[in-house]
């Protein structure tokens, strides 16, 4: 008995000594000339951001000590940027060439674009639509440290009516092809929502109307019915997932907002009734506007098929006018790009379009920080540089509240306390 007691004491003492010898997590300090408080627009000077274990533990204007001090004397710090509408596993491939991309190839494309997006200053994205659950695999690989990339909130396949915008693959009848997310009727969409969540989706994406880059449909036409969308939202919200609705047409925007979706993607034909519904429901608009500029300049060069190009030419000016009206009416706006329609890495060009439509540079920045964090449900971890949040930091040389295009080429990118880009 005495031997057992002695052994127990020895084990306890050994565990205590091991615990005392644990090496504390090193502290990193980012010392910068300026920091933009994106909530208030106030700029702090001579700022020290103290980081430990991937999180911000303190922000101060007094000197701080750390094992690793990063000096950015001429830079302005901002929280890592957020893109609420990406397709990391896609590239700008249009027409029948899309059919040659396998699911394994799509996963590899995603790995490439995740790194590009992170280096562009976007430390968090919401990926809204991917084949074969490739965005789920990409998210998990990044989280496991297998490859660099942003934090990803992933949707898996988008829900679509049979033959709708997200079930349009250009193949003829005899192939009997069907998208991963095709579902019809209330029971059908309920089952599909549950299935997509089963395979790892963080958010549900639905195609409420026709689209531009799809054959034979009309962007103005509603696809899912109000009853189907209510069923989708009810199941998604009960199971802890938010819902993003691709919607160009006014009726689809109105119905999707009435059904309780969390965001409207694109919103090209938004009208006064849809604006009022969105405001009453607190629905976010994710505009995706820069793609119009890029497509106008590059459609011929990339060989965009006329079945898409014709719709694109029609919708671009209409979308600008209508989205500006939504901005002016006070609809909540979160930043999104639809990157993949144009090359990844150009995401920050979206800011300048918002400013052209009447936002101040600060308001444009807020769409990609505090607003987008709120839409994603991650305000407790991203969107501002505050204690307790991820150490996701970007820096630019200059004042982005005077020139928002500075964000198109960040000098410094940190995600989770790890530096991925630092200009020499």
Domain boundaries defined on the chain? 27-79+384-422, 81-376
Give the model's pLDDT for residue 22: 57
The pTM assigned to this predicted structure is: 0.93
Mapping DSSP onto H, E and C, the string for 329-364 reads HCCCECCCCCECCCCCCCHHHHHHHHHHCCCCHHHH
Contact status, residue 215 vs residue 170, Cβ threshold 8 Å: yes
Chain-centre distance of CA 222, in angstroms?
A: 25
In sequence order, the β-bridge partners of residue 413 are 394, 421
Give the model's pLDDT for residue 21: 52
Give the model's pLDDT for residue 24: 66
Give the model's pLDDT for residue 99: 82
Give the model's pLDDT for residue 170: 84
Burial string for 288-326 (b: 16+ CB within 10 Å, else e) reads bbbbbbbbeeebeeeebeeebbebbeebbeebbebbbeb
Residues 6+ apart with CB under 8 A from 175: none
Which residues of the chain are modeled with pLDDT < 50? 1-20
Contact status, residue 212 vs residue 228, Cβ threshold 8 Å: no
Burial string for 372-395 (b: 16+ CB within 10 Å, else e) reads bbebbebeeebbbbeeebbbbbbb
In this structure, which topology does domain 81-376 adopt according to CATH? TIM Barrel (3.20.20)
One CATH from 2.60.40.650, 2.30.40.10, 2.60.40.1260, 3.40.50.300 for 27-79+384-422: 2.30.40.10
Going from the C-alpha of 385 to that of each of 57, 178, 236, 274, 335, the distances in angstroms are: 10, 44, 30, 34, 18
The SS3 assignment for 243 reads strand
> Residue 197: which H helix or E strand, with range?
helix 185-198
């Amino acid at each position: 008995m005495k031997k057992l007691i002695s052994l127990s004491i020895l084990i306890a003492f050994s565990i205590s000594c091991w615990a005392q010898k644990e090496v504390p997590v090193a502290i990193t300090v980012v010392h910068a000339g300026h920091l933009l408080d994106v909530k208030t627009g106030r700029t702090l000077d001579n700022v020290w951001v103290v980081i430990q274990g991937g999180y911000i533990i303190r922000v101060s204007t007094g000197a701080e000590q750390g094992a690793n001090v990063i000096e950015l004397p001429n830079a302005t710090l901002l929280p890592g940027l957020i893109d609420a509408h990406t397709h990391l596993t896609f590239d700008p491939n249009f027409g029948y060439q899309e059919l040659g991309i396998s699911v394994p190839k799509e996963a590899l494309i995603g790995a490439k674009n995740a790194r590009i997006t992170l280096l562009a200053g976007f430390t968090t994205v919401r990926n809204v639509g991917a084949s074969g659950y490739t965005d789920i695999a990409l998210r998990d690989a990044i989280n496991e440290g297998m490859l660099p990339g942003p934090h990803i909130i992933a949707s898996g396949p988008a829900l679509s009516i049979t033959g709708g915008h997200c079930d349009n693959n250009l193949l003829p009848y005899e192939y009997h092809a069907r998208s991963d997310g095709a579902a019809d009727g209330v029971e059908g969409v309920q089952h599909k929502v549950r299935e997509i969540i089963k395979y790892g989706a963080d958010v549900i994406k639905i195609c409420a109307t026709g689209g531009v880059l799809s054959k034979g449909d009309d962007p103005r036409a509603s696809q899912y019915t109000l009853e189907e969308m209510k069923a989708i939202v009810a199941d998604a919200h009960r199971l802890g997932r938010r819902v993003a609705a691709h919607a160009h047409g006014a009726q689809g925007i109105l119905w999707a907002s009435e059904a309780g979706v969390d965001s409207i993607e694109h919103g090209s034909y938004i009208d006064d009734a849809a604006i009022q519904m969105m405001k009453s429901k607190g629905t976010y608009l994710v505009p995706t506007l820069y793609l119009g500029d890029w497509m106008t300049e590059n459609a011929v060069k990339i060989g965009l098929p006329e079945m898409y190009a014709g719709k694109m030419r029609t919708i671009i000016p209409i979308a600008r006018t209508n989205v500006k009206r939504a901005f002016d009416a006070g609809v909540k706006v979160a930043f999104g790009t639809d990157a993949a329609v144009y090359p990844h890495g150009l995401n920050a060009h979206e800011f300048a379009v918002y400013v052209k439509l009447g936002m101040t540079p600060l308001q444009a920045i807020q769409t990609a920080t505090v607003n987008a964090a709120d839409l994603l449900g991650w305000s407790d971890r991203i969107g501002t540089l505050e204690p307790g949040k991820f150490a996701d930091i970007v820096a630019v040389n200059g004042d982005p509240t005077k020139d928002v295009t500075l964000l198109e080429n960040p000098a410094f990118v940190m995600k989770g306390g790890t530096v991925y880009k630092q200009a020499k």
